[in-house]
Amino acid sequence: MELKWLDDYIALIETGSFSAAAERRHVSQPAFSRRIQLLEDWLGVTLIDRARKPLQFTPVAAENQAAFRSLVARIYEFRSTLKSESLDIADLTIAAQHTLAASYVPAFLKRLRHLKPEQNFRIRSENRSDAVTMLMRGQAEILIAYETAQTPCGIPSPIAMRQVLGADQLVLVASPALHASLSVLRNDAPPVPMLCFPPESFFGQVVRLEALPELMRRQQVVVRCVSEFAMGLRELAVVGQGAAWLPGSLIADDLKRGRLMSLESLGLSVAMDIVAFFAVRSGDKGELLERQFQALRGEVQPLPDAAARTKSAAAPQARSIRKTRRAR
């Protein structure tokens, strides 16, 4: 039996769909289905009633979902407890999404040190999928990541405590020269040259699900470059190689200085939450994490969720598009 099978089943419980659960777990649907079958074989019971659509759990599976969640949480807690006993209790590992590791974590650490100035930290900069896995497997105590309305981290509450820390957005931008040629919609306009994240990456999923369809509805696109590194795509955008959806926090200075310009008339910005997950642990480390989480929670002002912010941002952009079309 592999621990990832348990995580797969938790994802299936939470999404209620093989396709959505497979996407959350970053595997193909056939591979995901095989892993669920392997779990069923190991347990010796059938969990899914495959003769019925939409997805339905068998009675024994439905009756024991809460117990299953609790079991998985205890497995990970036990694993992290064993690991923590071999480490200095003062050391906490923070797994952070690449962009946030540079733009957000330094200020975040400053806030945590107010509670315990002598606190030691290990910072791991990862893609979101790997950062989530580190927290789930007890390899990190704190996770800092982005979430959107359609791409949550999917961490069960028994494993970690969640708090929204702030807001960011993916903004479609281009160099001033490219912006001038693309900002006016025309029937004979050439395809928009795009700089893209890989479709399996977090930003790639966000763009594919929440931004690209709207752009492709209005305009043809052509992919000029694919890279998983936001900083690399930013540099390519600055020198005019194409348009890209990039985190606002990463390009704020570029927008201010005019090195990049927003293409609001072509594509919606996508609201993102910056979230922290504090692992549920036992012993002294668990108490420390609980105190830090509660202290942080008291500092943070509540925000509208990402879906509401995306909708509110869409309204002025839609008006801008209608004006442009009337002017043609």
Q: Would you give per-residue pLDDT tens digits along the chain (328 residues)?
A: 677 888 888 888 888 888 888 888 888 888 888 898 898 888 888 988 888 888 888 888 888 888 887 777 777 777 666 665 554 445 789 999 999 998 899 988 888 887 777 778 899 999 999 999 999 988 999 999 999 988 999 898 889 999 999 999 999 999 999 998 876 656 667 888 999 999 888 999 999 988 888 888 777 889 999 998 898 999 999 999 999 999 999 999 999 999 999 988 776 789 999 999 999 988 878 888 888 888 888 766 544 455 444 444 444 444 443 343 344 4
Residue 263 and residue 173 in contact, taking contact as beta carbons nearer than 8 Å: yes
- What is the residue type of 322? R
Which CATH number among 3.40.640.10, 3.40.80.10, 3.40.190.10, 3.40.50.980 corresponds to the domain 88-165+274-303?
A: 3.40.190.10
pTM: 0.66
Around 153, how many Cα atoms within 13 Å sit in the side-chain half-sphere?
Answer: 31
Please tell me the CATH code under which domain 3-63 is placed.
Answer: 1.10.10.10
Residues 6+ apart with CB under 8 A from 2: 35, 38
Which residues contact residue 326 at a Cβ distance below 8 angstroms, ignoring those fewer than 6 apart?
none
Any idea which architecture 169-271+311-327 has in CATH? 3-Layer(aba) Sandwich (3.40)
Please give the Cα distance from 154 to 151 (Å, whole number).
8
The boundaries of every CATH 3.40.190.10 domain in the chain are: 88-165+274-303, 169-271+311-327
The boundaries of every CATH 1.10.10.10 domain in the chain are: 3-63
